[in-house]
């Protein structure tokens, strides 16, 4: 029986007030050893420490965890101006703090004037995430590796495939129940870990940079501890007003819109593509791709050339009865026309790139987390399952996710992969669900959101809805850019300048919504 949201909320909040009232020992900083950074200056300023936190904030006197902390000290001497600490709250499947923090600090040094000033004035800090136990390779996800695997839920909606997926989901949730960390990973304990870090740093308030899901978490920290937040900068953030399940489905919808645009562009240029005007026929051809090819290629379709390349490769794969990339490359070299498509240079280039992607990722994205998870360890993937399941309201009816998968396929043909498998796992997850609610940020300081116009991981549309829901929010959008993570991009000086200035001195753009266009290319004389 799952507890109600109110009972769980009380269980989370009451003990944490007691823990937060205790004094937290200052951190002991030591050299980190070899640090990978583009700047020797950054490497020399990088320090490491460990933060001790309760495993369960409801029972703070019981077991504890030691979380790694990484800091790149501000470049200025301590006697000069120092404006405190920026905590980097990362996205899912991000690099560990020992990699991510020095890398971002190096980006600051390589940036424009405001970012270099940020490097001079501000310490940049990262705090390790809680993790499921690796258990020497016997983690809970690896424990299910011998079980039958389902094909992509986006192409095979049969009862047999859905049953296989449901059985695997139940096995994963059951196996992870044996990991003592399964109930102690998610936004609730993360917020308290962040607060404990602030106290250990001796800072009255910390600045926050949240990326992707990290923005969703940072917003909830600002709700819980509004007086302890300085400046909050959300880069490519999930919609903080939405649920975890909505963030998952937003990726499907974004991919669906991208494929719709590609199909429309292909049909609109019959002289080149000869694709006809039957949209359903194009989607049927995509649906007939081998499962691994479908899972890999459909998520990389951006324009009509990509779509045409995938259709060509699908035909060649069927013709040669193989998914061997060397065979398909050889067939592509000699192909001048495949069924109804002229294989010109751009299409050939896109097809080669699609084959590269297939060589790079043979997993087929079985859990629906996308390309960033392709090289993740099983323990890390299990940890992401834990955060999503513990942070969302997923229901407890396995059949709901079967129906929801079919609904998504009908609405967004060729865009659905295995995303709904997460719902199947989380509906079986043993932990009581956390409440999904809109954060009350009225007491938080004004904050800035930056976003690319096209973001496959955290689409702009939900983030824009969040912008409108909070009077103290402002947003900068990088128009005509497809990217996830835009803070200090050199090709978008407008975004970089506005974000850097806000982080340095708190100056927000004049308008609630600012658009940064692609810089005009210089004309040749």
Q: Are residues 98 and 234 in the same domain?
A: yes
Residue 78 included in any domain: yes
Closest CA to 329 of 372, 365, 296, 358: 358
Q: Are 60 and 32 a contacting pair, CB within 8 Å?
A: no
Judgement on whether residues 419 and 446 belong to the same structural domain of the protein: no
Task: Compute the distance between CA of residue 69 and CA of residue 50 in angstroms, rounded to an integer.
Answer: 6
Tokens of 112: 């424009």
Predicted local distance difference test score (pLDDT) of residue 7: 33
Q: Both 356 and 375 in a single domain?
A: no
Backbone angles phi, psi at 84, to 5 degrees: 100, -150
Cα separation, 315 vs 390, whole angstroms: 43
**3-state SS assignment for residue 148:** coil
**Strand, coil or helix: 514:** strand
What's the pLDDT score for residue 19?
Answer: 47
67 and 27 in contact (C-beta within 8 Å)?
A: no
Where does a domain end: 406, 428, 450? 428
The pLDDT assigned to 12 comes to 39
Q: Give me 224's structure tokens.
A: 């819980």
Q: How far apart are CA 30 and CA 35, in angstroms?
A: 13
Mark whether 230 and 302 lie in a shared domain: no
Pair of tokens at residue 153: 């839920």
- What was the pLDDT predicted at 336? 67
Residue 13: what pLDDT?
40
DSSP at 154: T
Instruction: Kindly write down the DSSP assignment for every residue of 24-70, as one continuous string.
Output: -PPP--EE-SS---S-HHHHHTEEEEEEEEES-TTSTTS-EEEEEEE
Q: Does 83 share its domain with 226?
A: yes
Structure tokens at 289: 């791709």
Neighbours of 160 (CB within 10 A): 10
1 assigned to some structural domain: no
Q: How many angstroms separate the Cα of 7 from the Cα of each of 14, 222, 389, 394, 516? A: 11, 22, 17, 17, 45
Q: Are the C-beta atoms of residues 48 and 102 closer than 8 Å to each other?
A: no
Residue 434, pLDDT score: 60
Quick one: pLDDT at residue 342?
Answer: 67
In a domain, 11, yes or no: no
* 74 plus 208 within the same structural domain: yes
- Asked if 119 and 75 count as a contact pair (C-beta separation under 8 A), the reply is yes
Q: Provide the pLDDT for residue 102.
A: 95
What CATH code is carried by the domain that includes residue 113? 3.40.50.1820
HSE on the CB side for 46, CA within 13 Å? 25
Alpha-carbon distance of 487 to 450, in angstroms, equals 7
The stretches in the chain having pLDDT less than 70 are 1-22, 37-38, 77-81, 135-137, 275, 336-343, 432-436, 519-525
Q: At what angle do helices 419-427 and 244-268 cross, to 10 degrees?
A: 160
pLDDT at 81: 65
Nearest to 150 by CA among 430, 428, 420, 426: 420
Half-sphere exposure of 260 (CA within 13 A, CB side): 9
Same domain, 57 and 100: yes
pLDDT of residue 34: 81
End position of a domain, from candidates 363, 388, 416: 363
222 and 87 both lie in a single domain: yes
Asked if residue 293 is part of any domain, the answer here is yes
What pLDDT score does 395 carry? 83
As for how many domains the chain has, the answer is 3
Assigned domain for 189 exists: no
Choosing from 401, 428, 455, the residue where a domain stops is: 428
Whether residue 100 sits in one domain with residue 211: yes
Question: Would 21 be classed as within a structural domain?
Answer: no
3-state secondary structure of 126: strand
Structure tokens at 396: 């407890």
109 and 235 in a single domain? The answer is yes
Same domain, 382 and 492: no
Establish if 194 belongs to a structural domain. Answer: no
- Residue 83, in any domain of the structure: yes
pLDDT at 21: 46
Pairing of strands 473-482, 341-342: unpaired
Relative orientation angle of helices 159-176 and 419-427, to the nearest 10 degrees? 50
Kindly report the CA angle at 307 between 246 and 91, in degrees rounded to 5? Answer: 35
First to last CA, the chain: 74
Instruction: Say what the pLDDT of residue 275 is.
Output: 67
Range of the domain at 282: 246-363
pLDDT attached to residue 10: 36
- Helix (H, G, I), strand (E, B), or coil: what is residue 352? helix
Rounded-to-integer distance, Cα 416 and Cα 414, Å: 6
User: Both 260 and 338 in a single domain?
Assistant: yes
> What would the two tokens of residue 486 be?
């835009």
| Kind of pairing between the strands at 85-89 and 123-127 | parallel
The DSSP-derived string for 388-456 is: HHHHS---S-HHHHHHHHHHHHHHSTTT--SHHHHHHHHHT-SSPPPP------TTSPPEEEEEEEE-S
Distance CA 99, CA 130 (A): 17
Of all helices (H) and strands (E), which one includes residue 86?
strand 85-89
According to DSSP, the residues that pair with 475 across neighbouring strands are 449, 513
């Amino acid at each position: 029986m799952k507890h109600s949201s109110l009972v769980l909320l009380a269980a989370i909040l009451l003990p944490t007030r007691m823990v937060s009232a205790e004094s937290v020992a200052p951190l002991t900083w030591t050299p980190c050893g070899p640090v990978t950074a583009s700047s020797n200056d950054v490497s020399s300023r990088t320090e490491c420490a460990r933060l001790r936190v309760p495993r369960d904030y409801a029972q703070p006197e019981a077991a504890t965890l030691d979380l790694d902390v990484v800091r790149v000290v501000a470049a200025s001497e301590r006697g000069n101006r120092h404006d405190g600490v920026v905590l980097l709250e990362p996205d899912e499947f991000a690099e560990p703090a020992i990699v991510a923090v020095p890398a971002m600090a190096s980006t600051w040094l390589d940036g424009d004037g405001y970012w270099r000033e940020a490097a001079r004035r501000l310490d940049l800090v990262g705090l390790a995430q809680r993790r499921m136990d690796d258990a020497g390779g016997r983690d809970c996800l690896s424990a299910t590796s011998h079980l039958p695997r389902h094909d992509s839920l986006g192409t095979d909606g049969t009862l047999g495939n859905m049953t296989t997926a449901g059985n695997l989901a139940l096995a994963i949730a059951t196996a992870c129940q044996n990991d003592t960390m399964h109930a102690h990973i998610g936004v609730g304990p993360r917020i308290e870990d962040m607060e404990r870090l602030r106290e250990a740093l001796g800072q009255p308030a910390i600045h926050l940079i949240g990326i992707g899901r990290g923005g969703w978490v940072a917003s909830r920290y600002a709700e819980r501890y509004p007086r302890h937040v300085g400046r909050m900068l959300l880069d490519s953030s999930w919609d903080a007003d939405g649920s975890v399940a909505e963030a998952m489905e937003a990726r499907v919808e974004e991919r669906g819109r991208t494929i719709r645009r590609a199909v429309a562009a292909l049909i609109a240029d019959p002289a080149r593509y000869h694709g006809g005007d039957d949209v359903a026929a194009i989607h049927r051809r995509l649906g007939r791709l081998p499962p691994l090819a479908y899972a890999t290629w459909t998520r990389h379709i951006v324009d009509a050339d990509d779509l045409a390349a995938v259709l060509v490769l699908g035909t060649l794969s069927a013709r040669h009865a193989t998914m061997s990339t060397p065979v398909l490359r050889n067939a592509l070299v000699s192909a001048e026309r495949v069924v109804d498509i002229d294989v010109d240079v751009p299409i050939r280039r896109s097809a080669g790139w699609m084959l590269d992607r297939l060589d790079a990722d043979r997993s087929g994205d079985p859990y629906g987390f996308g390309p960033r998870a392709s090289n993740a360890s099983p323990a890390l993937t299990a940890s992401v399952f834990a955060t999503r399941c513990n942070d969302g309201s997923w229901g407890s009816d396995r059949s709901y996710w079967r129906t929801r998968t079919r609904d998504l396929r009908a609405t967004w043909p060729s865009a659905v992969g295995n995303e709904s498998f997460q719902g199947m796992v989380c509906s079986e997850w043993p932990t009581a669900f956390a409440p999904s609610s809109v954060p009350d940020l009225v007491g938080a300081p004004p904050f800035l959101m930056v976003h690319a116009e096209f973001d496959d991981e955290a689409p702009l549309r939900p983030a824009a809805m969040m912008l409108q829901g909070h009077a103290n929010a402002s947003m900068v959008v990088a128009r005509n850019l497809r990217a996830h993570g835009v803070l200090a991009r050199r090709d978008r000086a407008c975004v970089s300048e506005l974000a850097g200035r806000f982080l340095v001195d708190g100056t927000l753009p004049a308008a609630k919504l600012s658009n940064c266009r692609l810089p005009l290319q210089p004309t040749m004389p």
